[in-house]
Amino acid sequence: MKAEQDGRLSPVLMGGPVVLVVDDDTSIRRLLGVLLERNGYRARLATDGVEARSAIETEEVSLILCDHHLHAESGLTLVRDLLRRSPRTVALIMSGDGMSQQSTGPLGEGISGYVAKPFDAKDVVKRIGQALCGRTLGGAPV
């Protein structure tokens, strides 16, 4: 297997877009992992910022799907840090507290939007595809 110049494995060489799921809820993390794999994505699962940062450093991640409320740190802060480390990556923030772009203002470069919890499986897959398409085509965020 061939690595890219920065040492991270390319999702193109490995078989499909890599989605990094960061959620401290084991059942949600596993459910999303299965959902993503069944829809042609390669899921990488992280419990916290330590695991997420390690994943970003070792593999080219196409999209980050991160819970807004993690135990050790803000998911939004974590995602912004991960996007600085991997500027070609895009992200979606998951939240169960009714957050929306309208209520919080602009999200920032690379953050495409929110996924409400509880989520609909088809909607999550659709929003991931839209976010990746925007990244790939250089279009506006979802």
Give per-residue pLDDT as tens, 47-89. Answer: 999 999 999 999 999 999 999 989 989 999 999 999 999 999 9
Are 79 and 53 spatial neighbours (Cβ–Cβ below 8 Å)? Answer: no
Tell me if the pTM is above 0.85: no
Q: Which CATH number fits domain 11-99+109-136: 3.40.50.2300, 3.90.226.10, 1.20.910.10, 3.40.225.10?
A: 3.40.50.2300
Res 6 pLDDT > 50: no
Q: What angle do CA 120, 12, 42 make, to 5 degrees?
A: 35
Taking residue 99's Cβ as centre, other Cβ atoms within 10 Å add up to: 17
Domain edges within the chain: 11-99+109-136
Longest dimension (CA), the chain: 45
Q: If pLDDT is split at 50, 70 and 90, which confidence band does 99 have?
A: low
57 CB-contact burial (10 Å; exposed 0-12 / middle 13-18 / buried 19+): middle
Q: What is the pLDDT of residue 109?
A: 67
Distance from C-alpha of 32 to C-alpha of 90, rounded to nearest angstrom: 17
